Structure 1
Amino acid sequence: MSARATAFASRWGLAPGRVAAEALAQWAQLWTLRNVALFTLLAALAYGIQAVVFAVLCTVLRLPLQPAVALEIFVNATLLGAASMVPGGLGTMEASLVFQLMAQGAKKADAVAIAIATRCITRWCGVFIGPIAFTGVCMRTRPSKL
């Protein structure tokens, strides 16, 4: 354990090994099989909504893409963005969307517009959901008045 972690543990009156045990206990409470299944379902729903937004944007610009092809392009770009190890796949995902759309016959300007619009819509929706979720957690854990 680092000196910083040891100092933190001693400040709170915990033995250094106890900090790790406490962290693992908290982790185990959160990552139950039920929660993992719920988190996986919610992530699939969120990415599915993003893929639908992408497909709708392609349709609005009248690109000749089947929905399955649009889904494949979005999934490929998302995985490439994750594999790039850049936070949020920023830049990598967009470039992948542009190149794949152009390979399907889209004009460069249309492909760039769709990539930017997809990212703006899907990123900012997630950012707005965060404060809503945070408010809900704060309301549930509000200390009771004496």
Structure 2
Amino acid sequence: MPILQNSKMDMFYYVELMGISIGGSRVPKVSAGNLRLDSVIEKGGVIVDSRTSVMRLVRLAYTALWDAFKAGVAELRAAPSGFSLFDTCYNIIGKMEVKVPTVVMHLGSGASMPLSTENYLISMDTKGTFYFAFVGTDSGNTQQ
């Protein structure tokens, strides 16, 4: 997987994210065009940040991803968010089994990286509330 350069932000490692699939289907607006590092203004792109458990996506891509994920978990009951960062959370208390759609990241090298459920549903309390680990941003910088 090639590492991309951004001369204005040379402390970060960038990768080319071509898209994300939810439940086996590519999310149309989560595409290379919406996630690309713009070499002219040197914004956007996808940085690898091992210190964060949240992936920030530009708003258009995030909204499409969120809609696709939400459709795949229609059986789950939404819960009020206790953290301002997250707008999507689910309460699974009392459920013996929970089915959620798979999430796969497609990289520029042609590789696909399936995420484990723990990578995109974060438990933040002991009450059975899980948060969707993707959030939207208007800054143009995305990270995982």
TM-score by length of 2: 0.26
Point out the structure with the larger strand share. Answer: 2
Point out the structure with the larger helix share. Answer: 1
TM-score by length of 1: 0.26
Higher relative contact order (CA 8 A, sep 6+): 2
